[in-house]
Structure 1
Amino acid sequence: MKIPFPETGNLKAVLFDIDGTLCDSDPLHYLSFQEMLQEVGFQGGVPITEEFFVENISGRENYHIGLALFPDWEQERRDKFLSDKETRFRSIASRLLKPVKGLDVLCNYIEKKGLRRAAVTNAPRVNAELMLSLLGLSSFFEEVIVGGECERAKPYPDPYQKALKHFGIEPHQAFVLEDSATGIRAAVAAGISTVGVATRNPEQTLMQAGATIIVHDFCDAQLWQALGTHPDKFLN
């Protein structure tokens, strides 16, 4: 059963994932992983496919990515590989990162309505802060919650439960924007209605994970119908 979208009169907060939700960063992560996995001879040096990336990497926390990709490696070696990968990603992101269409309009809506807002991510904090800075959103978010700093990262509900606790609100007083099945499962497990943002991952995958509605960007009519208003009212 899908969690109903909150009544706008009850809405107190909006919780955003970062990677793939605020910005279409998955292609940059995919490129970084593809290059570095080839360099270490992963699967015989055959480049990973986008399908492999979506199924095994996208949305997951680095610790679990390392275990899945390199079960025979020592943890120190996994950590070094993933640290180097994040350094490469940040270099690429600094040049190529772009916001998802309509992000500025949605942020205007949130500010004008006086809603609380947090970024809830499985990305390392240094990545999260860089992406928010590149998007001009460092001061927009009241809180940045990092999965790796919680007892359990997504797909467990802990990061979203921490956001609810931080704002002192109930699950029905917020909604989440997420682009991955991992993130959607985390939000749904916390009891929060979730908008699946289909920047890269298949709509069916997001629906099966429990998304209440699916949008392709923040101009999507379905989002604004759920909010009971029109985006033109919140243009700059």
Structure 2
Amino acid sequence: MLQEIGFNGGVPITEEFFIKNISGRHNEELCGVLLPNWDLQRARKFMDDKEALFRRLASEQLEPVKGLNKLCKWIEERGLKRAAVTNAERSNAELLISALGLSDFFEVVVLANDCERQKPFPDPYLRALQVLEVSPKHTLVFEDSVSGVKAGVAAGMLVVGMGLRNPEKSLADAGASFVINDFNDPKLWTALEELENKEEIVTVTT
């Protein structure tokens, strides 16, 4: 879509550009980052069209991260509270959660528009903690973006980085305690066992 409007002289953006300027950002912020010379109404329309395209592609291509079902079962068996905290638009979040069969899994869904400030500010995570009535010291966060990691850390929570797209170093530099490639990663299960033995985990958010 950026190519179609002549962004960057029509040259496709690189993965590095995406990671640095787009990944994890809310659309209102992206209006200024990508389309600073457009009036706000036009920029918002572009973002709405982007989201519609995303939903179409996601409905056709979405696949769960390896080990997701295993992790969800582990969480449910222990009766842990859980929340989805996302910068995504409501329609996107609902589509993804439903497509992955997680509609009944999450007790709380906090969207970007539910808070005055979005990630990387801690507000969305703080709201989830408030609704679930839990302490950040007993909460584990899974995040795949730098802004998300910063938000979780700023809210005082232990954050596991998901190295699905962003470089491990970027997630670690943002404050992730460790980075995994999927939910089958032995590092995750070792950490979960240690936290469970210490009775230090009651909530999982992502």
User: Normalization by structure 2: what TM-score?
Assistant: 0.93
Superposed CA RMSD in Å reads 0.8
Q: Of the candidates 9, 12, 20, which is equivalent to residue 55 of structure 1? A: 20
Letter in 2 for 1:191: G
Q: Distance in 1 between matches of 2:147 and 2:61?
A: 25
Matched residue SS, 1:38: coil
Deviations 1:59-103 (A, max 9, x none): 111111111001111110110000000000101111000010000
> Which of 146, 161, 174 is the equivalent residue of 1:209?
174
Distance 1:167 1:44 in 2: 47
Q: Which runs of 4+ in 1 moved over 2 A?
A: none
Deviation at 1:149, TM superposition (A): 2.1
Q: CA deviation at 1:150?
A: 0.6
Structure 2 residue 18 is matched with structure 1 residue 71: no
The letter for the 1-side match of 2:110 is: I
Match of 2:137 among 172, 193, 205: 172
- The residue matched to 1:145 in structure 2 has which SS? strand
CA positional deviation for 1:148: 2.4
Q: Is the 8 A contact 1:197 1:217 kept in 2?
A: yes
Q: Quick check: 1:93 aligned with 2:61?
A: no
Give the superposition deviation at 1:151: 1.0
Which sections of structure 2, spanning at least 5 residues, go unmatched? 195-206
Distance in 2 between residues matched to 1:111 and 1:76, nearest whole Å: 43
Unmatched runs of 5 consecutive residues or more in structure 1: 1-35, 230-236
Equivalence map 1:1-236=2 (5 Å): 36-228=1-193
| Paired amino acid for 1:185 | K
Instruction: Give TM-score scaled by structure 1 length.
Output: 0.81
Asked whether the 8 Å contact 1:184–1:194 carries over to 2, the reply is yes
Share of identical aligned residues, percent?
A: 55
Q: When the two structures are aligned, how many residues end up with a matched partner?
A: 194
Higher relative contact order (CA 8 A, sep 6+): 1
Letter of the 1:92 partner, please give it.
L
**Structure 2: how far apart are the matches of 1:89 and 1:114?**
33
Q: CA deviation at 1:49?
A: 1.0
Q: Can you list the C-alpha shifts for 1:181-226, whole angstroms capped at 9, x where unaligned?
A: 1000000000001000101110000000000111110000010001
